[in-house]
Amino acid sequence: GAGALPVVVADARYRLPDGSEGRTAASFAVGVPHGEHLDGFAPGAAEMREDIEARLDQVLERV
């Protein structure tokens, strides 16, 4: 599809029971579902869309 396929990166840090810090980071592709793939969409479009979804792209780090 036409348009951009944005990627969102999430970085979570948390305290573990032993007092150490855990960390997980992952990226998610955001687009319009089209079978097994996501199609891009026009960023900045002024309409609300209900057909956009985010799918795990990759786990970047887990400590």
Instruction: Kindly tell me if the per-residue pLDDT of 21 is higher than 80.
Output: yes
Q: Which two tokens stand for residue 57?
A: 């792209």
Q: Is residue 2 part of a domain?
A: no
* Domain interval for residue 51: 7-62
Model confidence at 14, pLDDT cuts 50, 70, 90, reads very high
Q: Is residue 53 part of a domain?
A: yes
Is the pLDDT higher at 3 or at 27?
27
Instruction: Kindly tell me if the per-residue pLDDT of 60 is higher than 90.
Output: no
Instruction: Give 28-61 as a DSSP string.
Output: EEEEEEETTEEE-B-TT-SS--SS-EEEEEEEEE
How many structural domains compose the chain? 1
Q: Is residue 24 part of a domain?
A: yes
Model confidence at 59, pLDDT cuts 50, 70, 90, reads confident
Q: Is residue 45 part of a domain?
A: yes
Q: Which two tokens stand for residue 8?
A: 């969102």
Torsion angle in degrees (nearest 10) through CA of 2, 52, 25, 58 = -50
Q: Is residue 1 part of a domain?
A: no
